[in-house]
Amino acid sequence: MHTITIKEGREKLLLKHHPWVFSGAIGHIDGDRGEGDFAKVMSANGDFIAYGYYDEKSHIVLHLLSWDEGTPADETLVRSLVRKSVLRRARLLGEKGTTALRLIHGEADFLPGIAADCYGREIRIIVSSRFADRFLPGIAAELDTLLHPAIIEASVDKAYASSEGLSERIRTFKEGRETSEDLSRTNVRFIEDGILYEAAPGKGQKSGFYCDQRDNRRIVEGYAEGKTVLDLFSYTGPFTLHALRGGALSVDAVDSSESALRHLLYQVHINEDDGVIPKGSRERVTITDTDCFEYIRTVENGRYDLMILDPPKLARTKSNLDNAMKAYKDLNRVAMMKIRNGGIIATFSCSAAMTMENFRMMLSWAAADAHAEVQLLRTLSAGEDHPVRLSFPESEYLKGAVIRVIRH
């Protein structure tokens, strides 16, 4: 284990349990710098701060894991963090009607750079740190012991592959052990809030499905009865399916991914055939494969009663927040101008760089420019399986609002 001394004055956030240490804060390292290893982290005046994992090839060279001096960091600690993360979700795991949820939410669950989602009998892991890559076999073995999935599949997040120096290969684990067997499988089936879904193995965005929106989909469903709905950035259609179950008159789903839209139609079919959504739902859905920022401009005023705006992450980092704020504002402004007077918009941002305060400010600028009065009916966030750790504000990435747009 390394012993690492933090430069004087750079320990403040770390003492408040923020887990990230960049190279500029590292004072002295006792041990071989080149090797990734666990570390005991001390302040300049010799006080214990935390245990962590140091790897100079990682863009965050030191991740803090445990602030308890009596619990040194080793692989046993990593496995116990995995176990605790899963056990914290016991209530959700026991919930009827939902078999898709996040089991590990990175730093918010004290496991840096690792997200794990379960979809029915399958677990998908997204690796975004060298730490996660190194301990993947132990993490997979622990998940297998706890949940006995049919398969665990791990891939590296494209956004971090080059900064972490990781190859983008997919690794597969069966019965807790890594296998090179070619497991050509069919789609995995799962349910969320009673709605049926399928995800293709190793394909799709993120880990194939956005289960962070679970609670918000249920909320949107409550506004759909008798409404003409626009689902912008629909992906494979979870909001569309909820709107249909809620009794929408019609849903126009728009996305730039043609394959996602085809999958949306497929999921409408399986749910209609199973009686989950009303008969005739498939005739109520129209898909359009186009750019949503363009599409919204062409919408006839007053056509829609309910809109869902769920764009991809527009602010990648804090440095492009200003430009992203403009793009979010423009999208929301046009939607506010186009929606029927008194209509409802469920609007989201999944950019961690944008705070809830920024988000509300953006909405108020959009409302002013659209010459509309806007009532905030609800503020929304990710489901509880994507917790926000207060000592790590970066974990608050998804924010949203249900608003009513009033033009006098």
Applying CB under 6 A, which residues contact ligand SAH? 205, 210, 213, 233-235, 238-239, 255-257, 260, 291-293, 310, 312
Q: Which is nearer to ligand SAH, 213 or 395 (CB)?
A: 213
Torsion-angle region of 84 (φ positive above 0: left; ψ -120 to 50: alpha; else: beta): alpha
Q: How many CB atoms lie within 10 A of CB 182?
A: 7
Minimal distance, residue 348 CB to ligand SAH, in Å: 8
Minimal distance, residue 168 CB to ligand SAH, in Å: 19
Phi, psi for 326 (deg, rounded to 5): -65, -40
Q: What's the angle, vertex CA 303, arms to CA 228 and CA 239, rounded to 5?
A: 35
Q: Which is nearer to ligand SAH, 146 or 265 (CB)?
A: 265
Q: To which H or E segment does residue 325 belong? A: helix 321-338
Give alpha helix (H) positions in 115-274.
130-147, 158-164, 214-221, 238-245, 258-273
Minimal distance, residue 126 CB to ligand SAH, in Å: 15
Q: Which is nearer to ligand SAH, 111 or 211 (CB)?
A: 211
Give whole-number Cα distances, 199 to 189, 191, 236, 273, in Å.
Answer: 7, 11, 9, 18
Q: Which is nearer to ligand SAH, 14 or 230 (CB)?
A: 230
Minimal distance, residue 314 CB to ligand SAH, in Å: 9
Place of tokens 């920022």: 293
Q: How many CB atoms lie within 10 A of CB 320?
A: 14
Token reading at 233: 């950035």
Minimal distance, residue 233 CB to ligand SAH, in Å: 4
Give whole-number Cα distances, 143 to 102, 118, 148, 261, in Å.
Answer: 12, 10, 7, 32
- The length of the chain, given as a count of residues: 408
Torsion-angle region of 173 (φ positive above 0: left; ψ -120 to 50: alpha; else: beta): beta
Minimal distance, residue 11 CB to ligand SAH, in Å: 38
Minimal distance, residue 100 CB to ligand SAH, in Å: 11
Q: Which is nearer to ligand SAH, 129 or 234 (CB)?
A: 234
